[in-house]
Amino acid sequence: MMQTRSSPFGISVGLPWLLFVILIMVPFLAHATEQTFYETLIARVIIYAIAATALNLALGYGGLVSFGHALFFGLGGYSVALPAFYGIDNGWIHLLICILGCGLAGLVTGAICLRTVGVSFIMITLAFAQMGYFVFVSLKQYGGDDGTTISATSKFFGFDLGHPDNVYACSLVVLALATYWMVRLRVSPFGMVLRATRQNARRVNAVGLPGKAYLLCAYVISAILSGAAGLLMANLNAFASPASMSWVVSGDTIAMVVLGGLGSAYGGMLGAIAFLGTEELLKGFTDHWMAVFGPAIVLMALLGKTGIAGFLEGLDARFSRKQTPRQTPPESAEPAKIGEGS
């Protein structure tokens, strides 16, 4: 019998892009039902999905367990707040400050942190994030610990990110582009070197590839993308605070990546939706939602060690095996006797 091929467009790919279609419809449904709160809520989920996708590049692809990515998220927020404090609302200036600031911070901290491995790497990244937190807490002229409101949101040729519809659309486009780039990166030479370095850095160096340089490049790109998420969040809330640099934000982002699937192109988005969606759902039922939320996340992680993306890929593989008919082996001819036919 002929062996049928399973479609490459399985649930592990179809579900994430179906979620994108649903996300496109959210603003229209929110305005139609006059429940614009949901547009702001989902915009927050999308922005955290961008931050989780950024971390997934360093953590999932490069194996860099960074507990300090909240530093870049917070720097992205202050790249809007500090110019706005002086009345500068040019979005291109905000974006330039974000890219240069987060890129330089990622380069300096990454070069130092990559001199260590394991727990030492985790602790140093956490230390840098806490340093950034206390620096901005000490800046009393910009609100200090209380943060600062943003009166001049980012404007790109009249496109004001201070409007919820605009920041929602921009965030969704950034998430879609970042996710597509992660899909392409997985099979690109750069991505394959990253994943190989995560598995065995010595072998990568032995074949003449500078594994540490690849990791540093991924760390800087991850820092810039995380900063872009912080920039969008600052425009959404019209507010920036040192709290966005706290270790709690880094921990939540790591939980999203692990929950969604380490090293999966869709892991950041799936993890952010599951993490924040579960949080909001539990808040609607009880004031003690954190007592339920913690064990629920732990249980979800234990049941699916490869995350949601790995679970979906397992369903694809199981469905493919069911759809593929077993091939009956051909009847073997009777072996010829020795000397026969000679």
Give the number of other Cβ atoms within 10 Å of residue 45's Cβ.
21
Residues 43, 229 contacting (CB under 8 angstroms): no
Is pLDDT larger for residue 83 or for residue 282? 83
Interatomic CA distance for residues 119 and 80, integer angstroms: 33
Give, in order, the Cα–Cα distances in Å from 209 to each of 258, 273, 279, 331: 28, 37, 43, 51
Least confident span in 110-124, 152-166, 278-292: 278-292
Q: Is residue 283 part of a domain?
A: no
Q: Is residue 198 part of a domain?
A: yes
Residues 265, 112 contacting (CB under 8 angstroms): no
How many helical (H) and strand (E) elements, i.e. helices and strands, does the chain have? 13, 4
The tokens describing 259, both together, are 């929950």
Tell me the whole-structure pTM to 2 decimals: 0.89
Is pLDDT larger for residue 79 or for residue 9? 79
Interatomic CA distance for residues 296 and 158, integer angstroms: 44
Interatomic CA distance for residues 267 and 261, integer angstroms: 4
Quote the pLDDT of residue 329.
Answer: 55
Q: Is residue 150 part of a domain?
A: yes
Place of tokens 């270790």: 247
Q: How many structural domains is the chain composed of?
A: 1
Mean pLDDT, the chain, rounded, equals 87
Interatomic CA distance for residues 263 and 233, integer angstroms: 25
Q: Is residue 289 part of a domain?
A: no
Asked if residue 279 has pLDDT above 50, the reply is yes
- Sign of the dihedral defined by the CA atoms of residues 185, 189, 192, 193, in that order: negative
**What distance lies between CA 252 and its chain's CA centroid?**
11
Interatomic CA distance for residues 53 and 321, integer angstroms: 31
Interatomic CA distance for residues 199 and 105, integer angstroms: 26
Residue whose C-alpha is closest to residue 54's, from 43, 44, 38, 68: 68
Q: Is residue 95 part of a domain?
A: yes
Domain around 143: 40-244
- For 197-251, write each residue's pLDDT tens digit: 988 888 988 888 898 999 999 999 999 999 999 999 999 999 999 999 999 999 9
Non-local (6+) Cβ contacts of 304 within 8 A are 310, 311
Strand partners, 149: 239
Quote the pLDDT of residue 6.
Answer: 38
Q: Is residue 129 part of a domain?
A: yes
∠321-323-324 over CA atoms, to 5°? 65
Quote the pLDDT of residue 330.
Answer: 55
Place of tokens 């091929």: 5
Q: Is residue 55 part of a domain?
A: yes
The tokens describing 266, both together, are 């869709």
- For 27-65, write each residue's pLDDT tens digit: 999 999 988 889 999 999 999 999 999 999 999 999 999
Eight-state DSSP code of residue 306: T
Q: Is residue 333 part of a domain?
A: no
